Amino acid sequence: MRGNHVLGEAAVLAGCRFYAGYPITPQNELPEYLSARLPQVGGVFIQGESEIASVNMILGAAAAGARVMTSSSSPGISLKQEGISYMAGMELPGVIVNTMRGGPGLGNIAPSAADYFQATRGGGHGDYRTPVLAPSGCQELAELTFLAFELADRYRNPVMIVGDGIMGQMMEPVVFPDPIDPKDLPEKDWILTGCKGRAPRAMFSMILDVNKMYKHNLKLQEKYELIAAQEVRYEALGVEEAEIIIVAYGTAARIAESAIEELGPNGLSVGLFRPITLWPFPVKPLRGLAEKASKIAVFEFSTGQLLEDVIISVGERAPIYFYGIPGGVVPTPAEIADFMRSVDRGDGTIGRRIEV
């Protein structure tokens, strides 16, 4: 199955019953899939008049108790930040998919990871965070879609899935997790359904009383700390004895994996560290590995965003080398193998050494 269809099917199987979105390339196969699939399970698909309207539709549907999703690509995700901030403030669960493309501005439709800062630092206005999941293949895409809905409900918070056009078009076999019937999900005791048999409920993010706003923010921060403590996910391949550890996520991690294969068993000793949650970032695991490895290499489809989290994690424990590709150019595994050879030599012919 193609990545965009995997995501749609996984969402439906995970109990998603409401999707609203506005077309933008390269993620259109996802809403197209859901427009036919959601009605089959009694769900609702709406093609909104804009990204802003769409994200606010899922805000409403989440308040009414449904598992909800919207998706877009970079410029559209910028528009959705209004609703994401409100959902964070009102503690509403929902899944937002960003099939990232080249930017800034309208950019291009080629794969990119340039929205890393936006995704991992909240994205919209206000002091909030959203868990960010970065799958690197179709099977993981299916599993992380389930996880995204679960985390959203568990923490009453928006959750992002980030990928790119390659992931959306990539075709791989998938085994889906067991389907979830929304009726079997735990009852939500905070949703709006009309006040029959109970006191009226009000949902809002405007808190004019400074003390209450202060407390609300501290409560949110407690939640984010809990997420950071409990939900870190990553994959480490061949890192134990590795001289060099390359840090990459999503499609870039797939290229790095191929590059390691290309270097061969008798070549350089390179391990792969792949963050699966970009927020919370696996700071401690990477820090632990940096104590032992002699060099850390960072490869990303952006020009120094993932790098910042690596610097926070690694500090001066190991020298950091960086290779970032801007604006939708996809390097070959051979190029990344060359980057690693350059890291090994420490000569900076590909990429550069980062002074921390």
Partner 1 sequence: MSAEPAYDYKKVFGRPQSLKDAYTHYCPGCGHSIAHRLVAECIDEMGLREKTIGIPPVGCAVLAYNYFNFDMIEAPHGRPLAVATGIKRILPDKFVFTYQGDGDLAAIGTAETIHAANRGERITTIFINNAIYGMTGGQMAPTTLLGQEATTTPGGRDPRYHGQPIDISKMIAVSDGVVYVERCALSSIKQIRRAKQAIKKAFRCQLDDLGFALVELLSPCPTNWKLTPKQACDWVNNVMVNTYPVGVIKDTTGYED
- Under the rule (CB under 8 A), what is the footprint of partner 1? 17-18, 20, 44, 46, 48-50, 52-54, 56-66, 68, 82-83, 86, 90, 192-197, 200-206
User: Within 13 A of 41's CA, how many CA atoms are on the CB side?
Assistant: 23
Find out whether 138 and 173 touch, Cβ atoms under 8 Å.
yes
Nearer to partner 1, 46 or 144 (CB): 46
Q: In angstroms, give the least distance from the CB of 155 to partner 1.
A: 20
Sort residue 67 into left (φ over 0), alpha (ψ -120 to 50) or beta: beta
Which residue from 266, 274, 267, 284 is spatially nearest to 246, judged by alpha carbons? 274
Find out whether 25 and 73 touch, Cβ atoms under 8 Å.
yes
Nearer to partner 1, 74 or 81 (CB): 81
Q: Measure the CA–CA gap between 196 and 284, rounded to whole angstroms.
A: 48
Nearer to partner 1, 69 or 340 (CB): 69
Nearer to partner 1, 186 or 197 (CB): 197
Q: Could you give the strand order of the β-sheet that contains 320-324, starting from the edge strand earlier in sequence?
A: 234-237, 270-275, 244-247, 295-300, 320-324, 352-354
- Helix 3-13 vs helix 29-40: crossing angle, to nearest 10: 30
Q: In angstroms, give the least distance from the CB of 126 to partner 1.
A: 12
Instruction: Fill in the amino acid letter for 322.
Output: F
Nearer to partner 1, 84 or 320 (CB): 84
Identify the H or E element spanning 98: strand 94-102
Residue 204, burial from CB neighbour count under 10 angstroms (0-12, 13-18, 19+) = exposed
Nearer to partner 1, 175 or 210 (CB): 210
Nearer to partner 1, 193 or 221 (CB): 193
Q: In angstroms, give the least distance from the CB of 92 to partner 1.
A: 9
Q: In angstroms, give the least distance from the CB of 86 to partner 1.
A: 5
Separation of CA 120 from chain center:
8
Q: In angstroms, give the least distance from the CB of 183 to partner 1.
A: 14
Instruction: Fill in the amino acid letter for 91.
Output: E
Q: In angstroms, give the least distance from the CB of 1 to partner 1.
A: 28
Q: In angstroms, give the least distance from the CB of 77 to partner 1.
A: 16
Integer-rounded Cα radius of gyration of the chain: 21
- 154: helix, strand or coil: helix
Nearer to partner 1, 59 or 113 (CB): 59
| Beta-carbon contacts of residue 286 (< 8 Å; ≥ 6 apart) | 234, 247, 273, 275, 310, 313, 314
Q: In angstroms, give the least distance from the CB of 210 to partner 1.
A: 16
Q: In angstroms, give the least distance from the CB of 21 to partner 1.
A: 12
Nearer to partner 1, 86 or 281 (CB): 86
